[in-house]
Each structure stands twice: as structure tokens, then as C-alpha cells.
Amino acid sequence: MNWLIYGANGYTGELIAREAVRRGQHPILAGRDAAKIEPLARELGCDWRAFPLEDIRLDGVSLVLHCAGPFIRTSKPMVEACIAAGAHYLDITGEIGVFESILHRRDVPVTLLPGVGFDVVPTDCLAAFLAERLPDANDLMLAFRMKGSDISRGTMKTMIESIGESGAIRRDGKIMRVRAAYDVREIAFSCGTRAAMTIPWGDVSTAYHTTGIPNVRVYMAMHPSRIKMMRRFGALLRLLSPKPIRRALQAVANRRSGPDETQRSAGRVYLWGQASNARGQSVKMTMTTPEGYAFTAMSAVNAVERVLAAPKPGAWTPAKLLGADFVTSVPGVFIDA
């Protein structure tokens, strides 16, 4: 079956394309700019297409892996094009708004599976494991610490796109906007205890759809001085949200690349999760994964292979469609407890 990577010339899209070819696959590589897509396709021995999101061409394509962010602006036209063409849709988003727009869709004839990379496979699967251990849980906390990595141009541009939206948690089944660093706590990761603050991570959406747990918070480990700064000045980020300012910041972000091969090989992500019920019972788990972009390349191709082998119509989270143990299909993942 033919499948297509849109945004294959981006940092993460190229990593995924190279991983797919390493496994003997030859996806169609696509993006807006032929001058960027064609050389990569020739190098990897893949077919290629160049088209904008205003004129999507999916003839002969069974599945699209969408890697061109910010997804809040790019996912909707690709989802609609996939449904019209009868092609399955996967992406590597971590954006709450994108998850919510896709996961509430009903009666779709193809598989819609957002978030098949580091956002949000490890945390989504961790949430599913915890829910299996405590089926009546009503509170879920997830946290991660990144070590030895950096962020890519695309990730930075996505962060800039949502720069004025502050934080988010889920309370009683509803997503609530809260101030930046709304909650701060010490998290006992397997690599040691670290201060962490709430962030608007994709699991505020997906963990609820995966587990049904109505109260969800996601934390990221950060140096206490940076947490203090976010609490003090986080509200000022809204001053950067007007479109002309965001576009200027994204022009600066275009100068970024992403972690190099050494960083990807050496980097690790440490995850922690806790589920609690109304009777005061709780369960905890920790997990270690490869560096985020390295994880995404492997996880995304794994997800493509599984969906092509056994597609299931509807809108899904990774753990809901592929199972909690899908995270262990990526080499270098360790569930510590």
C-alpha cells in the first residue's frame, strides 16, 4: 500500500522518512516546496509530490502521516482530504485543540489517529496502564523530564502559535484554562526527584478519551528558577499573541534546526504517572524512553505499519487503538515500576 508523509522535508518528517526507508519502506514524500522535497526523495529512493494544503493530492494513497505543523492550522484540511480520498490519517501533533477537534468526530470511514509520536504515545500509554491498575480512578497526574535534548524549528513554531493560551488542565471531564505553572510539585522520577509545573500537554485531551478519568494534569520538570519566572511573568505572554508578533517570532524560529544525531542517541525522557480514586487509593508508575525526536521517528513508523495492517474506522488515541503496550514496540523503552 502507498502511504505518504506530508512535511517530509521538516526536521521530524525527515527523521521519519529515513526511519521508514531504513526498514525497507518507500513512502511518498510530500510538502509544499518541490525544491526541498525532490532532493530528499531522490536521496532516499522515494516518489515525491509537491502541493499546498489548499490543493491536496492524495490519489493512490492509502494513508497519510501528517508532519507539517503548527497542526492547529494544518490538520483540518488534511483530515478532510483524507476522509474524501478514503485514506487513513495519522499525525504527530501534541496540540490540545487538534486532539479535541479530531477525537470528537463520529462516523468517519477511515482511521483518524493523531499524536503518534512523543506527543503523546508514552504518556497516553502510561495513562492506560495506570487506568488498568486502578479502574475506578478519578484523578490522573502525568509528568516527564527531558534530559540531553533540544527542540526543533517546527516544535518552536507550534509553541509560538499558542503562546497566549497559558495553561490547561481537565477538571470534572472539562478542559479548563488556567494560569501558567498553575500547580507546582516535586515529582519522584526514576532518575531522581525534580520540581515540575503543569503544562498544556496533549494528554489533557487524550488521557480522558483513553481512560475516562475526569481530572487530568500534566507536568514538566523544570529548574525552580524557570518555574518561578513562569509564575511571575506567564501572564505577560499574552502580549506576544497578536498575529504580527507571532509571525515575527516564527521567522526567528526558522533559524533553528533540532538536536543532532549525538543528542538524539544520548538523550532520554523520564516519565512518571499516578492515578488515584475517591477512596484514597493510588497507583504509580515510571517509564524511560529514548530522546523525544528519536522516539517519534520509530513510534510513528510503527503506528503506520499497524494501521495499514489492521485499520479501524473512527477517531482514536494511540493507546485506545493500539493498546497500552504499544509504547514498548519502540526499542529503548523501559517501564520501571
Cell for 299? 513510534
Is residue 245 located within the same domain as residue 107?
no
Domain count, the chain: 2
Which residue reads 481530572 in cell numbers? Answer: 215
Is residue 126 located within the same domain as residue 110?
no
CA atoms within 13 A on the CB side of 223: 4
> Looking at the predicted structure, is the pLDDT value of residue 73 above 90?
yes
Distance CA 198, CA 143 (A): 8
Is residue 220 located within the same domain as residue 97?
no
Task: Give a yes or no: residue 227 inside a domain.
Answer: yes
pLDDT at res. 57: 96
Distance CA 31, CA 27 (A): 13
Quick: pLDDT tens for 289-318. 999 999 999 999 999 999 999 999 999 999
- The range of the structural domain enclosing residue 66 comes to 3-117+294-323
CATH label of the domain that carries residue 202: 3.30.360
Report yes or no: 177 and 255 within 8 Å, Cβ to Cβ.
no
Task: Give a yes or no: residue 140 inside a domain.
Answer: yes
Quick: pLDDT tens for 210-256. 999 999 999 999 999 888 887 776 655 554 454 554 454 445 545 55
Query: Rounded to the nearest 10 degrees, how much is the dihedral formed by the CA atoms of 21, 287, 307, 95?
Result: -90
Is residue 276 located within the same domain as residue 301?
no
pLDDT at res. 98: 97
pLDDT at res. 162: 45
CATH label of the domain that carries residue 28: 3.40.50.720
pLDDT at res. 129: 98
> Looking at the predicted structure, is the pLDDT value of residue 65 above 90?
yes
**Separation in Å, CA 273 to CA 21, 242, 330, 334:** 34, 36, 19, 14
Task: Give a yes or no: residue 37 inside a domain.
Answer: yes
Report yes or no: 185 and 219 within 8 Å, Cβ to Cβ.
yes
CB atoms within 10 A of CB 229: 14
What percentage of the chain reaches a pLDDT higher than 90?
A: 80
Is residue 139 located within the same domain as residue 268?
yes
